[in-house]
Amino acid sequence: MADLVRYPQCGCIVEYLEGNTIQIAVVIGENGERLRLLLPSRREVTLSKNRILPWAGPRYSEEKSRDEFIALLEQHKNRRDELQETINILDVWEMAQGELGQAQAQWFAELLESDPSVDLVAAHAHALLLCKTHFRFQPPFFQIFTAEESQKRLAEQKIRLEREALLAGGRNFLQMLWEVALGRRKLPPEPKAGESSSDWPPQDVCERLEALLRTRMLAPYDNDNESLWLQVSRGLPDAPQLPLQLLLAWNKVPVHYNVWLHASGYASGDSWWHEVKQDVEKLVQKAHEGFDLPPSALPLISIDSATTKDIDDAFAIEETAQGFLVTVALSCPILAWEFESGLDKLVLERGTSLYLPEMTCHMLPECLGTDSYSLLQEKERPALLVRLSIDHEGTLLDFDLSLARVFLAANLHYEDCEQVLNGDVSPDNPASAYAKSLQCALKMAQARQAERIRHGAVVMEREEPVLRLEGEGAETRVLLEVKEPTNQSQLVVSECMIAASHACAKWAAKHGLALLHRVQKVNLPQEYAGVWREPERIARIMHSLVPSVLDIHPGPHAALGVDDYVPVTSPLRRYADLVNMAQVAAFLRYGHGLFDQEALERLLARLDQALERVAPVQRMRPRYWKLVYFRQQGDKVFYSAVITEENDSFVTVNLPQQAMIIRAKRQLFDDRLYPGMPVRVRIGKVQPLWNELQILEAQPLESCLDAVP
């Protein structure tokens, strides 16, 4: 070991760190605590002695020429590199680990040779410095990590290396995808296995990049990868739904991908319940057995849209000298329902059915919600009967609840019933056979609505267009259909449901039964009470309303004009109604509910979380398709609109036929504008994914000659 030098002087070979790179040099001068060094590149540097690495040597005569020193430096450097290649540093760690906590480079070299040369010591030091997962250099020692510490550092190193590779190859790739998304270039062909491409990063980087994009698409505010996302997306615009747009350009998600549905975790289709198939089969079997309920011979009919398959309400009605006797039959899927079962937990996570232009996602398995428990004509079904006594003024006089087996006479549709209510009783209309009941029901419904309005009810009649999709993928066309209004038949159904829900709330209060209430606590001006159709009036009233909420405590529902309201009429479609139905049915059968108020409060907290996840799907997806419709129409078409609000900067218009509200800059409009003024507007710059569109031009109605689509 004679060639190792503790205090390097002129002629001594030394090494030092420059950044993370080891430099070899020879000492050619000394000045106090500083050394003058000659490098293989013939460059000279001055360095503090404490920067010299602790494996100096050998030392040569300072009389040697520069050329001789440079040749020696090259010789030692090459020798050390060759020796380093022969060292398996993990084997060295295996021998050293557990022996002691730290050692100098010489000790490690002596594990292989009893009298190692300075070049071998330096070679070991080089290998130790590179193996940061198992050793840490704390001059003059190398700390030896334990197996647990090494595994942790290996995992950290893997993450770091993957991150570096992702940043190196991912940033340019995302820039290229953005160019594809903007239509400025086409996506280049993906290289085959084993091939490379200047446009595409390595396969492993592509996989991690795709995973990152999918994570950001579904959770754009995920803090776990925020720093990585900011680095890899540097230079890209902060555009809405940027990860989704990049995945679309990459062909990793289909055109018109429903990102809101995916982000909610709501499973589409009808296979989500197969893991709890036994629970479902049990409920189907129980429905066929009839639950040992008394039969009801009432001539019940249901009224729904032609596309409705989950029919959860029906009614029968007769007029008396005092008013009306109304029986509302509600589907009852809960007589064998087991809360906290596998099926119940899945249904609670769904929270509600979703009705989207491209599909319907049922809250319950379809064999339950659209078959075994749906109130289908000429089928016997378990039901909750809500009997209502209503006078000719629309006042609810009395009510009663019971369970029974019902047999529906007919499933009618809004359009057929509307024709009958308009006096068109044709023999080929299936609703004609029930003309008397329908006319009686309309009379009752009008009285009930008038009674609610006297108590402050706000009724806003707005026609929602029907969105129909034709074709698939990029060829999908959006058709927007404005159907003939069916206000009368819809009024019959809505008033029956409101009356039944109001009666259930009163019945529960009478018996001290805890239920989930739909509450809207707001003081509305008396002049707001009434039926409103004008967009500008509706816009004004909407500013005063607050959303209704589910609550375990009773409370008024201001817009409905009732002092208490419990959702119970749609147990096939809404979990809150399912719970209330279960509470009522349990009380009727056993004299007590399934949940006390405390348990109901815990359940409501879980339900609120589920509904909060799902709500954006029902809100955003139909709007997305409307924006696709506007984009497909082009920016040369004018649409009929009504000004609903205006101020010094902006104007808000309502497009009644499309059920869209758009805000635009005031300078686009005539100076004579006022709320309620009819206009026609031209729309462009439509970005469905960004939820953006703009009014490009606005004209007073009398001066615009363009046809409205």
- Cα 274 to Cα 362: distance, rounded to the nearest angstrom: 14
pLDDT of residue 463: 84
For the chain, give the percent of residues with pLDDT over 90: 81
Question: CA 702, CA 680: separation in Å to the nearest integer?
Answer: 9
Contact between residue 287 and residue 382 where contact means Cβ atoms under 8 Å apart: yes
How many residues make up the chain in this entry? 709
Q: Of the candidates 575, 538, 577, which has an alpha carbon nearest to the alpha carbon of residue 559? A: 538
pTM (2 decimals)?
Answer: 0.81
Report the relative pairing of strands 692-700 and 678-687 from DSSP bridges: antiparallel
What does the block give as tokens for 426? 């044709």
Gap between the Cα atoms of 423 and 646, Å rounded: 42
pLDDT in tens, 87-97: 999 999 988 88
**Phi then psi for 428, rounded to 5 degrees?**
-90, 0
Q: Rounded mean pLDDT of 484-513? A: 97
Is 665 strand, coil or helix? strand
Residue 367 scores a pLDDT above 80: yes
In words, the CATH class of domain 634-703 is mainly beta
At 705 the pLDDT is: 41
- Which amino acid does the sequence have at 358? E
Contact 493, 444 (CB under 8 A): no
- Residue 140, preceding bond cis, omega within 30 degrees? yes
In angstroms, the CA 626 to CA 708 distance is 16
Arithmetic mean of pLDDT over the chain: 93
H helix and E strand count, the chain:
18, 26
What is the model's pLDDT at position 702? 63
CA dihedral 634, 637, 643, 649 (to 10 degrees): 60
Residue 510 has pLDDT above 60, yes or no: yes
C-alpha 458/C-alpha 502 separation (Å) is 16
Tell me the pLDDT tens digit for each residue of 574-609.
999 999 999 999 999 999 999 999 999 999 999 999
Structural domain boundaries in the chain: 13-145, 149-253, 274-623, 634-703
